[in-house]
Amino acid sequence: MCPNKKRRRESILAYWEERADENPDSPAATTDDIYLRELEILTLTDTLKGLLRQRPGSLLEVGCGDGYSTLRIASALPNLQITAVDFSRNMIRNANLRLSKESDLRKRLKFLIGDVRDLHPVVGENQYDLVLSDRCLINLASLKEQEQALQKIAEHLSPEGFFIAIENFVEGQERMNEARKIMGLDEIPVRWHNLYFREDEFRSMVGKFAKTIEFRDFSSSYYFATRVIYSAMCRIRGEEPDYLHEIHRRAVELPWTGAFSPIRMAIVEKG
């Protein structure tokens, strides 16, 4: 790895280690927008239930963070065996602390320190019915690393298994910012530690192992309500947007429509 990429990766890891230390018991450890996290959990739970259809199954989660979402998903799907990994030692520490309070889940859920770019040291040759990535791959240092990670995910995905990716995409970011511009709002930039996908790049990378690829813009209505309409109201009132404002909680209930969010779900069936 070139020095610049190595430094970037080290900086990203340090950022998440610090977030874990600052938020040991908070759902805000992986995003300040806790209602967005709630929307992700609800969407993932429904999607996994639809794919499993009450059958037992195994799931590998890459980039599980502090385990907050993982524990919620495990509670909702009692027939699911889950292995969850993250490159942040502090995040896994917090995840295991959470798990220690959930005796009924400890037999079918484990949290491990692992690198999505090389999963073999932590999961061996195991393959899983489902692999889940929730805002994990955007925290890699380069497009090459993202492609490498997707190759490793494919290796650990069972034949005809499903890879469920909630990741950020440039196209949705641009559409959201176009709407914000119309409302007289500044663009929301991509944060320094994130590398968003372009849809054609993602399709090309997963196309090497995919039979089908389906995109769902599940957070579009949420983003339009909170990042466009609510933000415009705040501008008129001279207020700073607040992630805990009631509109965020209510926006979780909206049916999704349009494509105004960078955060999309891709459901990839292995072929």
Give me the architecture of the 3-270 domain, per CATH.
3-Layer(aba) Sandwich (3.40)
Residues 6+ apart with CB under 8 A from 40: 69, 134, 166, 219, 263
**Beta carbons within 10 angstroms of residue 181's beta carbon:** 12
Q: What is the pLDDT of residue 87?
A: 97
Mean pLDDT value across the chain: 96
Q: What is the pLDDT of residue 5?
A: 80
- CA–CA distance, 41 with 252 (Å, rounded to integer): 11
Query: Is residue 185 over pLDDT 80?
Result: yes
Q: What is the pLDDT of residue 206?
A: 98
Query: Is residue 6 over pLDDT 90?
Result: no
Average pLDDT over residues 75-98: 97
Query: Is residue 81 over pLDDT 60?
Result: yes
Query: Is residue 1 over pLDDT 60?
Result: no
- CA–CA distance, 134 with 63 (Å, rounded to integer): 7
Q: What is the pLDDT of residue 213?
A: 98
* pLDDT tens digits along 19-69: 999 999 999 999 999 999 999 999 999 999 999 998 999 999 999 999 999
- CA–CA distance, 6 with 59 (Å, rounded to integer): 30
* pLDDT tens digits along 193-251: 999 999 999 999 999 999 999 999 999 999 999 999 999 999 999 999 999 999 999 99
Q: Which residue has the tokens 């997963």?
A: 206
Average pLDDT over residues 129-138: 98
Sheet hosting strand 80-86, strand order edge to edge: 109-113, 80-86, 57-62, 128-134, 157-168, 263-270, 210-216
Query: Is residue 3 over pLDDT 70?
Result: no
Predicted confidence band of residue 2 (pLDDT cuts 50, 70, 90): low
Residues of the chain above pLDDT 70, percent: 99
- CA–CA distance, 218 with 133 (Å, rounded to integer): 15
Residues of the chain above pLDDT 90, percent: 96
Q: What is the pLDDT of residue 224?
A: 98
* pLDDT tens digits along 92-122: 999 999 999 999 999 999 999 999 999 999 9
Domain limits, the chain: 3-270
Q: What is the pLDDT of residue 54?
A: 86
